Amino acid sequence: MEDLILGYFVRSEYHLSADAGKKLQEIYNKLRDFASSKETRQTIIFRDLWETDLVPIMNNCIEDNR
């Protein structure tokens, strides 16, 4: 499983990192590829500003490509 960190929280606001779009595009390309989509396990996590707690937002497990 691979962690994809897209940004951080400051109080109640979420701020995307400068390379968030590029990271999401790479994941999208992997999932479009039939062979790799069966094996891809991605967890998108957000880390707060102080990097103390991880907040799981989405766990996208691709078990089989129908």
**pLDDT bracket for residue 12 (50, 70, 90):** confident
The pLDDT of residue 35 is 57
Q: What is the pTM of this model?
A: 0.44
Q: Dihedral through CA 35, CA 19, CA 8, CA 36, nearest 10?
A: 0
Whether the pLDDT of residue 54 is over 50: the answer is no
Q: What is the pLDDT of residue 22?
A: 87
In this predicted structure, what is the pLDDT of residue 13?
A: 83
What mean pLDDT is reported for the chain?
62
Banded pLDDT at 44 (limits 50, 70, 90):
very low
- The pairing of strands 41-48 and 2-10 is parallel
